[in-house]
Structure 1
């Protein structure tokens, strides 16, 4: 892939990629996705094509109900650096959604990163604070930075994004909450949900996205490691060595597939004390004992918390 990175570095212009429809149909045509519980969804498979590259650099599965705008449900990146979306496990999402639908009251509201929010709304019908495809922060290789405005324009046009200034402002505020110390962050979450019964869903990959969006507030790095036949102990040793060699302060690991896992690292002491870092299974956090928000469910890389109506002491 080095060739296309170099080519794009010296070629500012339009978005360096485009979506290419491969096939579309009902869930029966995409039985491997495991969407039997949502028979009314329409699915389309899209490849991400970069000019001058023979093979797609990623593939995504989009879902929609009727004439609604599409939602990215599953994404698989074939390059060594995240492109457009961060890899996710649809199998985790399809287990999470029924649990949320069963246990979250119908009149409650849910906070989550905008892409997770749209997935939850599609699969549960519950109300989420964020409903639009907000695009940001743009997940792109560093050498695509000269084309970031073109990428943003292309993404908004492809997804038909019509987010209001108010929704964008609330999402910025959500990022501030996640990157604040826990007491302050939880107070902002309550502010965003207007005092209603509310829940917040986070995923370990939100660390990477928050680090892109607010690098001055939280320092995040990542590295992919081979699982080598499911050798968890060997993986743990490699991750710990990488943490020590780079003077990182905390880490967590999430499996991408049977062959690979991604480790997320916090790069300084301030970052490990943020709300998001304390909500996730870092080596410097204890989610079960966390009091700023209350853990109510976990599914793979997803962690679901209830937002207290008043701020308890986090001691």
Structure 2
């Protein structure tokens, strides 16, 4: 089955869509509210969202707000923020993807909505009651709200709000307390350090007291600047948008040629509406980073690093993966 998965992903490029989400904007860019226009400003309009149209979570949502982003008069994407209370009665927020399209595959947020809906159902049904999920903070919010399982990180800190998208959502996102700020720094370090060293540290940090899982998805590649801001290592990945043609095999040849020109041929590709967003690993150190080894780069698929086992992978070419940290109790 592993060989079959490798063949599928290395031949059919990942049709995940929507890399414009969380894109890295120029430092001079900022957000203006309610449709204001000025140069390359990223504009946002906020409005209540009918909860009947919102992805239902394991906790009752007290309110849901839609944030619609546009730039130069062009609609880009929308995000939802659900406000709820956890089992201890503490206020929480969760960034969600609206469905927004009759055909899921045609919508960047709709695709993510579908991926997360399926993953959350599996997590809620299959993960042990005392499972702990490691992820980046926005994924942790979705894990907790959609599945009810505990996530180690669920709140951002100041470094995240340097991104104009997160700055626009700041009012609806409870800030990380001191303890969780330290966790953000630790998680950024683990994701960007040597994979085997990171997994050894994770196993030692959490010990055998409870089952620990690690969730990663391709959107983490759009958080590289944020991870570095929290103290993680800079991962010098190359990226490029390659126009999509009518010949899949020709497209694959173009992607492979670019990956060989910028590195050793290791790449991950996402299919956008009219182009492929492709990442390559020109730096050997970056190639061995935990994040790269756990995402579906073609070389990463050949052999997992020691210390994890793959327990779940989503459709659309493995956009989202869940790994079990080994040396943990088996349930």
Tell me whether 175-184 or 203-212 shows the greater mean CA deviation. 203-212
Size of the aligned set, in residue pairs, is 276
Task: Indicate whether 1:283 and 2:298 are aligned.
Answer: yes
Between the two structures, name the one with larger relative contact order (CA 8 Å, sep ≥ 6). 2
Task: Indicate whether 1:95 and 2:118 are aligned.
Answer: yes
Pick one of 208, 219, 227 that aligns with 1:205. Answer: 219
- Deviation of 1:289 after TM superposition, in Å, equals 4.5
8 Å Cα contact 1:255/1:261 also seen in 2: yes
- Deviation of 1:193 after TM superposition, in Å, equals 3.5
Cα–Cα, structure 1 residues 134 and 14, in superposed 2: closer, same or farther, change >3 Å?
same
How big is each residue's C-alpha offset from its partner over 1:158-200, in whole Å with a ceiling of 9 and x where there is no partner? 2343211221111211121122222210023235545431000
8 Å Cα contact 1:247/1:267 also seen in 2: yes
Q: Which runs of no fewer than 5 residues in structure 1 stay unpaired?
A: 1-7, 77-85, 141-150, 311-315
What is aligned with 2:68?
A: 47
Pick one of 34, 49, 64 that aligns with 1:24. Answer: 49
Q: Which runs of no fewer than 5 residues in structure 2 stay unpaired?
A: 1-25, 34-40, 100-108
How big is each residue's C-alpha offset from its partner over 1:16-36, in whole Å with a ceiling of 9 and x where there is no partner? 545312451123x46xxxx36
- Deviation of 1:132 after TM superposition, in Å, equals 1.1
- Deviation of 1:98 after TM superposition, in Å, equals 0.6
- Deviation of 1:138 after TM superposition, in Å, equals 5.6
Cα–Cα, structure 1 residues 287 and 185, in superposed 2: closer, same or farther, change >3 Å?
farther
Distance 1:116 1:286 in 2: 22
Distance 2:166 2:160 in 1: 13
What is aligned with 1:313?
A: none
8 Å Cα contact 2:46/2:68 also seen in 1: yes
SS at match of 1:296: strand
Trace 1:110-121 onto structure 2 (pairs within 5 A).
110-121=133-144
SS at match of 2:189: helix
TM-score after normalising by structure 2: 0.69
Trace 1:1-315 onto structure 2 (pairs within 5 A).
17=42, 19-27=44-52, 29=53, 35=55, 40-41=60-61, 43-49=64-70, 53-65=72-84, 68-74=91-97, 89-134=112-157, 136-137=159-160, 140=163, 151=164, 154-155=167-168, 157-193=170-206, 195=208, 196-210=210-224, 213-214=227-228, 216-228=233-245, 231-247=247-263, 250-256=266-272, 259-286=274-301, 289-300=304-315, 301-309=319-327
